[in-house]
Structures are given as structure tokens and as C-alpha cells.
């Protein structure tokens, strides 16, 4: 193969890919119980994933993310929120090479029932 050969073409990333990366990364953070439904006006463009706790806007190739989470009891809300922000921004940046402008965390509830028998 010629060392100077550079393939041409374009890579496109479906918005659902960004949603999936953000959702799975947030769920992997210790202290996150689950994601909650997006309140009010949901992502009209992502009907299949509109209640999975992630809203993403891409403007000028910069990703802006809102995550709606329910955290586990006895967790430090600030620490969990910062870890979600760090991990989601890192995952988007490393996996798709896009700049992350902002990751907003909305703590919708605390899960006091995790691990308890009702």
C-alpha cells in the first residue's frame, strides 16, 4: 500500500450515537441509579429515545448536553454530578472527536429504594 495514500470521504455520526454515548456513560458513573424522563418539551428529533434522560443540541460542531438523573441514596450530589460531567464530556470527545460545550446535570430525585425489599 502506498504510504502517501489518503482515503477521501466523509464520516457522519447519527444523533442517536451521541445520545447513546451520553446515556450509557452517565449510567456507568457510581452513584447514578437511573435516568429520568425529560420534563416538558422532549427532543422532538429523537422520538425513539425521547424519555431516556438525555437532551443533546449540536451547534457548530459543539455538543451541549442536558442529563436528567436519579442518584442513589447516601451519595454526594455534587461529587456524582461532577463525575457525570467529566465522564460524559470525555466519552463524547474521545469516541467521536467532537467538542463538548456544556454538560448540565439535573438531579430529579434520590433513589431511596435501591437494594431494599418492599
Q: Which uninterrupted H or E stretch holds 103? A: strand 99-111
| R_g of the chain, CA atoms, integer Å | 17
Domain assignment of residue 9, yes or no: no
What is the predicted pLDDT for the residue at 62?
94
Q: Is the confidence at residue 76, as pLDDT, over 60?
A: yes
Greater confidence, 79 or 10? 79
Sequence-distant (6+) residues with CB within 8 A of 10 are none
Residue 117 belongs to a domain: no
Tallying the residues shown for the chain, one arrives at 118
Collapsing DSSP states into helix, strand and coil, what is residue 93?
Answer: helix
25 burial via Cβ count (<10 Å: 0-12, 13-18, 19+): buried
With a cut of 70, say whether residue 31 has pLDDT above it. Answer: yes
55-69 pLDDT, tens digit per residue, is 999 999 899 999 999
Start-to-end CA distance of the chain, whole Å, equals: 64
Dist CA 72 CA 89 (whole Å): 22
Between 21-30, 49-58, 97-106, the lowest mean confidence (pLDDT) is in: 49-58
- Domain assignment of residue 33, yes or no: yes
118 in any annotated domain: no
Question: CA-CA distance, 6 to 99, in Å (whole number)?
Answer: 24
Domain contains 22 = yes
Is residue 1 a part of any domain in this protein?
Answer: no
In-domain check, residue 30: yes
Residue 83's CATH number: 3.30.70.1350
Say which residue the cell 431494599 belongs to. Answer: 116
Cα–Cα distances in angstroms (integers) from residue 96 to residues 11, 13, 34, 55, 80, in the given order: 10, 8, 24, 17, 24
pLDDT tens track for 38-61: 876 544 454 444 558 999 999 998
69: domain range? 15-111
Residue 61 placed within a domain: yes
Report the number of distinct structural domains present in the chain. Answer: 1
Compare 69 and 112 and report the one with higher pLDDT.
69
Amino acid at each position: 500500500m502506498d504510504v502517501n495514500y489518503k482515503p477521501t470521504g466523509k464520516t457522519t455520526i447519527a444523533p442517536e450515537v451521541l445520545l447513546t454515548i451520553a446515556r450509557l456513560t452517565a449510567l456507568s458513573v457510581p452513584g447514578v441509579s437511573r435516568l429520568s424522563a425529560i420534563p416538558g418539551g422532549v427532543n422532538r428529533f429523537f422520538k425513539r429515545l425521547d424519555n431516556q434522560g438525555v437532551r443533546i443540541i449540536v451547534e457548530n460542531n459543539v455538543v451541549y448536553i442536558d442529563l436528567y438523573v436519579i442518584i442513589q441514596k447516601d451519595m454526594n450530589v455534587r461529587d456524582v454530578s461532577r463525575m457525570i460531567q467529566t465522564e460524559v464530556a470525555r466519552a463524547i470527545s474521545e469516541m467521536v472527536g467532537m467538542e463538548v460545550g456544556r454538560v448540565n446535570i439535573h438531579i430529579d430525585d434520590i433513589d431511596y429504594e435501591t437494594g431494599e425489599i418492599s
